[in-house]
């Protein structure tokens, strides 16, 4: 698949890039996408939730009433979960929600996501660029020139660029990552994927089998 490279003004240049069929034209695996997105979202969870159980609630351990003869259910101490202010039964505890996913499956998921975007015509290739200073206006103009301003956009750079990243940070729905940081969730979540020309080779090296 050949794509014409655009400049930051949105105009076609004389250059073309060829996208590897083994990455952008495979048979998509929806289950691999599901697992990779599930792992990504699971890893975003802090897992720091905690509720006190009856052994952790502050209070007296004195038996509050006699065992028999009251006509009501027997009760131990004031920290009984049935009482107001008592401990919680089977409350949440800190845990790690992450799970292991095979690297080959993650590769398949990302290839599948890129294939979907290529089929939708949602991939744009732009020549390498840089900003002298962080400026949201410049990044807004870039998105407008590439017909991506009113869409969720993902810009994939070949290398980290602090000025470009800071320029995009105030825009809702705009995200900037490097080629080594791409993940299935960001690809599927974006309506427009903008690839910097130099990022294509890095992506192919990461996603090719045996590398």
Domains located in the chain, CATH noted: 2-46+97-207 (3.40.1370.10), 51-91 (no CATH)
Read off the DSSP letter of residue 70. Answer: S
Per-residue pLDDT of 118-143, as tens digits, reads 999 999 999 999 999 999 999 999 99
Q: Rounded distance, CA 202 to CA 37, Å?
A: 22
Angle at alpha carbon of residue 25, lines to 22 and 27, rounded to 5°: 95
> Whole-structure pTM over 0.85, yes or no?
no
Q: Rounded distance, CA 110 to CA 209, Å?
A: 12
For residues 145 and 176, the answer to whether their CB atoms sit within 8 Å is: no
Q: Rounded distance, CA 106 to CA 118, Å?
A: 18
**pLDDT greater than 50 at residue 211:** no
**Phi (first) and psi of residue 188, to 5 degrees:** -75, -30
Q: In which band, very low, low, confident or very high, does the pLDDT at 210 lie, cut at 50, 70 and 90?
A: very low
Q: In which band, very low, low, confident or very high, does the pLDDT at 209 lie, cut at 50, 70 and 90?
A: low
Cβ burial of 39 (10 Å; 0-12, 13-18, 19+) is buried
Q: Rounded distance, CA 111 to CA 97, Å?
A: 25
Mean pLDDT of 78-93: 92
Strand positions, DSSP E, the chain: 2-6, 12-18, 123-126, 153-157, 174-178, 192-196
Q: In which band, very low, low, confident or very high, does the pLDDT at 1 lie, cut at 50, 70 and 90?
A: confident
The helix/strand/coil state of 19 is coil
Mean pLDDT of 175-183: 94
Q: In which band, very low, low, confident or very high, does the pLDDT at 67 lie, cut at 50, 70 and 90?
A: very high
For residues 153 and 175, the answer to whether their CB atoms sit within 8 Å is: yes
Mean pLDDT of 64-75: 91
Q: Quick one: CA torsion of 193, 196, 200, 202, rounded to 10 degrees?
A: -110
Q: 124 - beta bridge partners?
A: 194
> What pLDDT does 113 receive?
96
């Amino acid at each position: 698949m050949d794509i014409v490279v655009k400049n930051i003004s949105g105009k076609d240049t004389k250059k073309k890039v060829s996208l590897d069929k083994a990455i952008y034209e495979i048979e998509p695996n929806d289950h691999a996408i599901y697992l990779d997105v599930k792992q990504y979202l699971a890893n975003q969870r802090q897992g720091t939730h905690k509720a006190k159980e009856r052994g952790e609630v502050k209070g007296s351990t004195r038996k509050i009433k006699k065992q028999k003869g009251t006509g009501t259910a027997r009760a131990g101490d004031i920290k009984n979960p049935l009482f107001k202010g008592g401990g919680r039964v089977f409350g949440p505890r800190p845990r790690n929600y992450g799970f292991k996913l095979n690297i080959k499956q993650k590769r398949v998921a990302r290839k599948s996501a890129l294939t979907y975007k290529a089929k939708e015509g949602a991939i744009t290739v732009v020549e390498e660029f840089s900003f002298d200073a962080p400026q949201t206006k410049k990044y807004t103009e870039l998105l407008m020139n590439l017909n991506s301003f009113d869409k969720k956009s993902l810009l994939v750079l070949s290398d980290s660029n602090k000025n470009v990243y800071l320029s995009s940070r105030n825009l809702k729905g705009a995200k900037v990552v490097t080629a080594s940081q791409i993940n299935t969730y960001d690809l599927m979540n974006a309506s427009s994927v903008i690839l910097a020309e130099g990022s294509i080779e890095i992506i192919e090296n990461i996603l090719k089998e045996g590398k």
